[in-house]
């Protein structure tokens, strides 16, 4: 046997070995699957259907072609959705709800059979809108703000109960946004303006009442003063009035004497005399 034939045989054997190893590796790889942390696997068997038991984390064996794994993420995930709902007094409000959900691990096979892998996207928006509309319809528009903790508690309890029917666990439910329609906002603004106008009218009425009382008291005081003066005049004659005139004239003369700009014009000549010539 020549060297060329030996080399050809060696290459042939190596190729056969590599092919066998490749086939074996592919077969081994098709018999293994890995479940990462925070995940669970549901096995579908072509003869038995979906197996009731879930598979935990790690690398596991399966029968190629006969069995197929479906991986579920069992970690808590956030979901946000909005709903426009009507209140008890027929006002429209826009609410945004945030929930933290995860599947019930012991019922993963049932979830896979009824809802599939996208169970949360199929269930949570629909039941969330249903619960929001049912709860909001029990309150007036203003109560959604004044009784917000009570409203949130009702939404949380109702939504947790509804999600449990679909084997979904809700770790948290919260109303993150609440806004009213344009009509309600306009009505609130008009109500505030009306309240301000009412307060202003009340103030005007109170002011007029106080002015009326002050006028009455002032008139009564003037009437009492006039009566006292009349009584004094009747008792003592006109002497009191003459005395008041003299006192007034005296005060006027003193005031004019202190003013340097006051001059007198005598009637008998053309000279101007200052009251205070020394200034």
pLDDT per position as a tens digit, 158-184: 999 999 999 999 999 999 998 887 777
Is the pLDDT score of 136 beyond 60?
Answer: yes
pLDDT in tens, 22-44: 665 565 667 888 999 999 999 99
The β-bridge relationship of strands 32-35 and 58-61 is: antiparallel
| C-alpha to C-alpha distance for 31 and 26, rounded to whole angstroms | 9
| C-alpha to C-alpha distance for 272 and 128, rounded to whole angstroms | 104
Is the pLDDT score of 76 beyond 60?
Answer: yes
Q: Which residue has the tokens 């609440």?
A: 178
The β-bridge relationship of strands 77-86 and 92-103 is: antiparallel
| C-alpha to C-alpha distance for 195 and 189, rounded to whole angstroms | 10
Weakest-pLDDT range from 8-12, 28-32, 49-53: 8-12
Distances (CA, A) of 43 to 33, 46, 61, 71: 11, 10, 11, 9
Instruction: Tell me the two tokens of residue 230.
Output: 């009349």
SS3 assignment, position 57: coil
The CA angle 99-100-101, to the nearest 5 degrees, is 110
Contact 48, 79 (CB under 8 A): no
The mean pLDDT of 43-53, rounded to a whole number, is 92
Is the pLDDT score of 185 beyond 50?
Answer: yes
Distances (CA, A) of 269 to 61, 84, 233, 260: 143, 102, 43, 22
What pTM value is reported for the model? 0.62
Length of the chain: 279
Closest by CA position to 166, among listed 221, 123, 228, 217 = 123
Is the pLDDT score of 75 beyond 50?
Answer: yes
- Neighbour order of strands in the sheet with 77-86: 77-86, 92-103, 168-180
Closest by CA position to 80, among listed 63, 100, 57, 97 = 97
Element (H, E) at 257: helix 239-257
């Amino acid at each position: 046997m020549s060297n060329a034939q030996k080399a050809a045989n060696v290459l042939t054997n190596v190729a056969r070995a590599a092919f066998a190893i490749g086939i074996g590796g592919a077969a081994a790889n098709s018999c293994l699957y890995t479940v990462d942390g925070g995940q669970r696997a549901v096995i579908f068997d072509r003869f038995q259907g979906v197996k009731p038991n879930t598979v935990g984390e790690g690398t596991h064996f399966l029968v190629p072609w006969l069995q197929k794994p479906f991986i579920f993420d069992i970690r808590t995930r956030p979901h946000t959705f909005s709903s426009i709902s009507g209140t008890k007094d027929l006002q429209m409000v826009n609410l945004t709800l945030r929930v933290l959900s995860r599947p019930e691990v012991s019922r993963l096979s049932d979830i896979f059979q009824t809802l599939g892998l996208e169970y949360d996207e199929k269930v949570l928006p629909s039941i969330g809108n249903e619960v929001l509309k049912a709860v909001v319809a029990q309150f007036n528009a203003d109560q959604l703000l004044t009784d917000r903790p009570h409203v949130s508690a009702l939404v949380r309890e109702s939504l947790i109960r509804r999600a449990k029917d679909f084997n979904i666990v809700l770790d948290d439910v919260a109303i993150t946004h609440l806004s009213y329609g344009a009509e309600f906002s306009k009505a609130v603004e008009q109500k505030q303006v009306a309240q301000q106008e009412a307060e202003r009218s009340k103030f005007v009425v109170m002011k007029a009442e106080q002015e009326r009382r002050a006028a009455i008291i002032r008139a009564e005081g003037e009437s009492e003063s006039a009566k006292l003066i009349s009584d004094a005049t009747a008792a003592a004659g006109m002497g009191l009035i003459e005395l008041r005139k003299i006192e007034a004239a005296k005060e006027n003369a003193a005031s004019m004497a202190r003013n340097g700009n006051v001059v007198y014009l005598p009637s008998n000549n053309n000279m101007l005399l200052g009251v205070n010539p020394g200034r």
